[in-house]
Amino acid sequence: MNTEHSSHKQALFSRILITGGMGFFGWNAANHFRRQGLTPIISSSSLARYSAQAGETPVYLNILDRISIEACLRQYAPTVILHAAAFSAPLACEKDPALAHEVNVVGTQNMIALAAEFDIPFVFISTDLVFNGEKDVLQSGFYTEADTPDADIVYGKTKIAAERCIQEQVFGKWIILRSALMFGRRVEWANGFPQFAVDLLKSGKPTTLFTDQFRTPAYIPDIAEAMICLLRDGRFGEVYHCGGAERIDRVSFVQRYCAVASVDISNINACIMDDVPNYTTKVRDVSLSNEKLLRNTTYISWQVTPFETAFREMLL
């Protein structure tokens, strides 16, 4: 690839509008894009919440208000839309399925419709929780893009419906990136992993974590990089899985992080999901296979960061 061609490609994807840009994923992804010389346009539907603490004024965009989306697209002329805004807490979605549908499905419908109208490449952040977690992944292999989404929980069902809205579009410039439990640097105003567990441990309170819930936790800069690699390779119209370096249960993951961060783990209350009364979002094992992503990123091969390397970077 010659330099002229490569900088042309870079320019094509230089101005990335992030919905949910002040969320845990959005904020970490924006910082990664800045480090790559790209320009994130951070949007939020609740500007007043952040002005004081974030030191950054996001632009207003409410995914449920098409006028605000259109105004944002006209004013900031993004070259890519990264749609990460969501009602993303599984337990809260279970309690308010109507709101979950509104934000996750209707909001996504609005975003993809306007991306199509303005002809802007569109990347949707989906989740490993589109699967019910009952596959025997050790016997049959991690979840691949060929597995049929079969979530039992409201959050997963709304993300499946959102994916379908995108896939049904005639507009072909979309990518669906299904990721796993995300981890990254602390975002002071957003709930993040593993910080919520670390904060509980430091407070001396018992910290309940499951030994029987397996994921492939994904480092947010790796997810952001996967998006750049796929865009550069023009891999539109497909679903890709983007998991992390290893399959691991929550207790072991937090223990590994705490070993690097020198946090005392004696308050971990390791238990199984059935031990917690009324825990309605039991999902056993949704480990994702990265095979397709690795096969399809040829311009710059995507790489996954080992957990300990990521932890050390997060603590810098």
Query: Helix 220-232 and helix 307-314: axis angle, to 10°?
Result: 110
State which of residues 100, 112, 154, 181 lies at the interface with ligand NAP (CB under 6 A).
Answer: 181
Q: Does residue 195 bind ligand NAP (CB under 6 A)?
A: no
Q: Does residue 162 bind ligand NAP (CB under 6 A)?
A: no
Helix (H) or strand (E) holding 91: helix 90-95
Q: Does residue 127 bind ligand NAP (CB under 6 A)?
A: yes
CB closer to ligand NAP out of 12 and 106 = 106
Stretch that binds ligand NAP, among 2-10, 22-30, 110-118, 200-208 (CB under 6 A): 22-30
Q: Which one-letter DSSP state was computed for residue 280?
A: -
> How many Cβ atoms from other residues are within 10 Å of residue 197's Cβ?
23
Q: Does residue 20 bind ligand NAP (CB under 6 A)?
A: yes
Are 129 and 90 within 8 A, CB to CB?
yes
> What is the distance between the terminal CA atoms of the chain, rounded to a whole angstrom?
34
Stretch that binds ligand NAP, among 176-184, 244-252, 255-263, 285-293 (CB under 6 A): 176-184
Are 201 and 265 within 8 A, CB to CB?
yes
CB closer to ligand NAP out of 62 and 109 = 62
CB closer to ligand NAP out of 21 and 121 = 21
Phi, psi of 80 (to 5 degrees): -150, 145
State how beta strands 248-249 and 214-215 pair: antiparallel
Closest CA to 130 of 145, 146, 150: 150
Task: Map the footprint of ligand NAP across residues 59-118, applying CB under 6 A.
Answer: 61-64, 84-86, 88, 103, 107
| Distance (Å, whole) CA 112 – CA 289 | 26
In order of 181, 190, 201, 226, the CA distances from 29 in angstroms are: 15, 14, 26, 11
Stretch that binds ligand NAP, among 15-23, 146-154, 225-233, 284-292 (CB under 6 A): 15-23
CB closer to ligand NAP out of 13 and 124 = 124
Closest CA to 309 of 199, 128, 183: 183
Q: Does residue 254 bind ligand NAP (CB under 6 A)?
A: no
Q: Does residue 22 bind ligand NAP (CB under 6 A)?
A: yes
Site string for ligand NAP, 32-61 (x = CB under 6 A): ------------xxx--------------x
Q: Does residue 182 bind ligand NAP (CB under 6 A)?
A: yes
Are 81 and 19 within 8 A, CB to CB?
yes
Binding stretches for ligand NAP (CB under 6 A): 19-20, 22-26, 44-46, 61-64, 84-86, 88, 103, 107, 125, 127, 179, 181-182, 190
